[in-house]
Amino acid sequence: MAPRSPMIAVVGPRRDASAGELAAAEEAGAGIASAGAVLVCGGLGGVMEAACRGARSEGGTTIGLLPGTERDEANGWVVLALPTGLGEGRNALIVRAADAVVAIGGGFGTLSEIGFALKAGKRVVGLGTWSVDRRDGGDATAAGIVVAANPHEAARLALEAAAATG
């Protein structure tokens, strides 16, 4: 039989990520890989690339679910680059592949991934990402984004959730 490792998604913007967000993504990726989990992401630049670089620094496996049809789209730290041809629709696949999700920074694509993950009942750990609340003052805490204090904690919380559901 094949070994089966937990998979943790790191989602975040390709562009407009701050230096702090990129550093956080790299540290979170390293934490995920050092725990033996597989990193899954959208495979492009920015937060995705930083997370992959971190995971590779620990010898981890990185999967990139690419929006286009060309493997060359992937950043240089993606080990397994899978072109999907689904455009932004591939965001749903990233979430489905993952046992838990770490969201860093906040593009709109990231917001869609948070929505998918919460809908699927998967743990979302946020680092400087979207705060989502019902405008009517409804049960905001039900939104279920767990805010991490730092990248190390983000990786730990995601890994714990993956272990609980695996």
Point out which residues bind its own copies (CB under 8 A): 1-4, 7, 38, 40, 52, 56, 61-63, 69, 71, 76-89, 91-93, 96-97, 106-116, 118-120, 126, 128-136, 138, 143, 147
The Cα–Cα gap between 121 and 116 comes to 9
CB atoms within 10 A of CB 89: 11
- Tell the smallest beta-carbon distance from residue 29 to its own copies (Å): 12
For strand 62-66 and strand 38-41, is the pairing parallel, antiparallel, or unpaired?
Answer: parallel
Query: Which lies closer to its own copies via its Cβ, residue 112 or residue 152?
Result: 112
Query: Which lies closer to its own copies via its Cβ, residue 31 or residue 83?
Result: 83
- Tell the smallest beta-carbon distance from residue 41 to its own copies (Å): 13
- Tell the smallest beta-carbon distance from residue 23 to its own copies (Å): 14
Token code pair at residue 100: 């838990």
- With H, G, I as helix, E, B as strand and everything else as coil, classify residue 160: helix
CB atoms within 10 A of CB 106: 22
